Amino acid sequence: MMTTNPPIAALSKGQRYSGGTTCLGCVWMANLLDHFAIAVDRHPDRTAIVEGDGREITFSAVQIRAQQLASKWKRRGVGQGDHVLLAMPVNADLYASLAALWSLGATVVLPEPAMGLAGLRHAARTTQPKAFCASGHFALLKFVVPELFKLRLLLPGSARSDPGVATVHDSDTALISFTSGTTGKAKAIPRSHAFLMAQHDAIAPLLNSDAVERDLVAFPVFTLINLAAGRTTILPNWKMSNLDRLSPEQLAGWISKQQVTRLLIPPSLCEKLAQCKDTGQLHTVFTGGGPVFPDLVERLLSNSGLDVVCVYGSTEAEPIAHLDVRDISEVDQREMAAGKGLLVGFPVSQIKLRIRNDEVQVTGDHVNDGYLDPTHSKANKIKDGTTIWHRTGDVGHLDERGRLWLLGRLGSDVRTPTGRTFPFAIEIAARQWPGVTNSALMNFEESPALCIEGDAGQLSNWSSLAQELGIAKVIHVRKIPMDKRHNSKVDRVKLAHLLGC
């Protein structure tokens, strides 16, 4: 016998979630839609999202918009289990569209933005969607991209609100997203409503605050967490694909104008933040999406006195570990400089972590247990009885306190006179040298080479310092290529091509 309450993303103000579903041998959990509806009920007039142009949208307005879109798209034939490819600007309508489609029982397919048009086409071919949901110039792609020609076009537009929501189950696929493709072909990752809720439960404790915060958020997953928590999200007023063009002054201006109290940003933006002179009410930074090196942490603390929390994770498992940088001791600093690796902190309580053949492997409710393509699962997942372990591809080790240290990616090691060496062991030290702005340890012509971006006048000095670390060759690179998603990780494939490897 099973009783089911309908999802309440599209319920009106005042209607409350009254429980869940109970059945023999299973546990029913509330989903993000339920939490959002409760947030609307508690804070209907609070600003939910501030868009990049400064427009403010309240929680009740997001809910009403979601109701309208659900009603409109239901009449267009969208229903339970349908795959809907979504391509929209990052604004309030994007999140209202997510809520609307989920309330209809649809699966939202999100292409990888960093891959551009190629990512959109790859997502369409991989997931075979029924409809294409788009706005602005994205909608025009329906008529120029062959994979979209036969898809039903869903436009936001205006609509009346008479939603009839579907029953959403924990196991239903809510989302299909993609890995960045930096280290190979972008892999499609299905995420159930239960998975998204487990991810929420793992991230929410990091973001909990007794104060009324205004978070400037560069990661969509954190916007979802904030919407579920009733917390205000400020969206960037710059393009995340053009981070190089963002000036510290522009960043500081947006922070001050919007009275931002916390930032959730990648390390590349932290580099700009460290150059900001006035950041108003800002007191805390959460950063992830790439390595957060000690020299960056030092600049952040010395220039702004902020609280900084580093979050380590991956597309398949977010978060894995976290670190309050004020917990980094002088001994830790010395050990990082001496080649022990990059300290990323204690694993979160919701995850199990092990080291096998130097690789960090994880399992847990918020760790993806498979890809859409079974061949990808075979290469990246390990089945151990009833447990499925995710292979992160990161090399690391645990210290005597149980903290995780990272050394780089599998296969990125080089051979030096002292033995096998991974990138972070050298790069952390190199970033402390005079005139260095970035560094990358590579195999070049079958021997290790340290690529350095910075003041070329220091090349002779760098070469001498590298010799002491067992690296015979130093190459000055005008600009070390970084990943397209967050501009925070070295794109080693592009760098190898640049070097002619």
Q: So what's the pLDDT on residue 58?
A: 99
Q: Cα separation of 114 and 156, whole Å?
A: 24
476 neighbors 468 (Cβ within 8 angstroms): no
Q: So what's the pLDDT on residue 395?
A: 99
Q: So what's the pLDDT on residue 159?
A: 66
Please identify which residue in the block is written with the tokens 């409503």.
Answer: 193
pTM over 0.95? The answer is no
Domains in the chain, please, with CATH?
59-195 (3.40.50.980), 329-410 (2.30.38.10), 415-499 (3.30.300.30)
Q: Cα separation of 259 and 270, whole Å?
A: 18
Structure tokens at 295: 């020299």
How does 134-160 read in b/e, with b if 16+ C-beta sit within 10 Å?
Answer: bbeeebebbeebebbeebbebbbeebe
500 neighbors 451 (Cβ within 8 angstroms): no
DSSP string, 421-449: E-HHHHHHHHTTSTTEEEEEEEEETTEEE
Q: Cα separation of 464 and 479, whole Å?
A: 22
Q: So what's the pLDDT on residue 56?
A: 99
Closest CA to 199 of 112, 317, 371, 110: 317
* Range list of β-strands (E), 303-402: 307-312, 321-324, 342-347, 351-356, 359-364, 381-384, 387-398
Please state the separation of Cα 243 from the chain's center in Å. 16
134 neighbors 87 (Cβ within 8 angstroms): yes
Q: Residue 24 has what DSSP assignment?
A: T
322 strand-pairing partners: 311, 346
Closest CA to 72 of 28, 131, 116, 124: 131
Q: So what's the pLDDT on residue 162?
A: 64
Closest CA to 231 of 70, 36, 405, 64: 36
HSE toward the beta carbon, residue 480, CA cutoff 13 A: 22
Q: Residue 187 has what DSSP assignment?
A: P
Residue 208 burial by Cβ neighbours in a 10 Å radius (0-12, 13-18, 19+):
exposed
Full pLDDT tens readout for the chain, 501 residues: 233 333 334 433 333 333 333 332 233 336 999 999 999 999 999 999 999 999 999 999 999 999 999 999 999 999 999 999 999 999 999 999 999 999 999 999 999 998 999 999 999 999 999 999 999 999 999 999 999 999 999 999 876 666 566 788 899 999 999 987 666 678 999 999 999 999 999 999 999 999 999 999 999 999 999 999 999 999 999 998 888 899 999 999 999 999 999 999 999 999 999 999 899 999 999 999 999 999 999 999 987 779 999 999 999 999 999 999 999 999 999 999 999 999 999 999 999 999 999 999 999 999 999 999 999 999 999 999 999 999 999 999 999 999 999 999 999 999 998 899 999 999 999 999 999 999 999 998 889 999 999 999 999 999 999 999 999 999 999 999 999 999 999 999 999 999 986
Q: Cα separation of 350 and 365, whole Å?
A: 7
Distance of CA 363 to CAs 177, 303, 312, 382, 384, Å? Answer: 19, 38, 15, 10, 11
